[in-house]
Chains A and B, each alone.
Chain A
Amino acid sequence: DAGVIQSPRHEVTEMGQEVTLRCKPISGHNSLFWYRQTMMRGLELLIYFNNNVPIDDSGMPEDRFSAKMPNASFSTLKIQPSEPRDSAVYFCASTRTGASEAFFGQGTRLTVV
Chain B
Amino acid sequence: QKEVEQNSGPLSVPEGAIASLNCTYSDRGSQSFFWYRQYSGKSPELIMSIYSNGDKEDGRFTAQLNKASQYVSLLIRDSQPSDSATYLCAVNRSGGYNKLIFGAGTRLAVHP
Contact = CB atoms under 8 A, between A and B. Distances in A.
Interface in A56-107: 56, 91, 93, 95, 97, 100-107
B98 A42 contact: no
Contacts of B32: 100
Contacts of B43: 91, 104-107
User: Which of A41, A45, A100, A106 gathers the greatest number of chain B CB atoms within 10 Å?
Assistant: A100
Please classify the interface of chain A as helix (H, G, I), strand (E, B), loop, or mixed, using the class held by over half of its residues.
Answer: strand
A106 B39 CA distance: 12
Contacts, number: 56
A38 to B, nearest CB: 10
A107 B98 CA distance: 20
A50 B98 contact: yes
Contacts of A101: 34, 46, 49
A113 B2 CA distance: 31
Interface of B: 31-32, 34, 42-46, 49, 88, 90, 92, 97-105
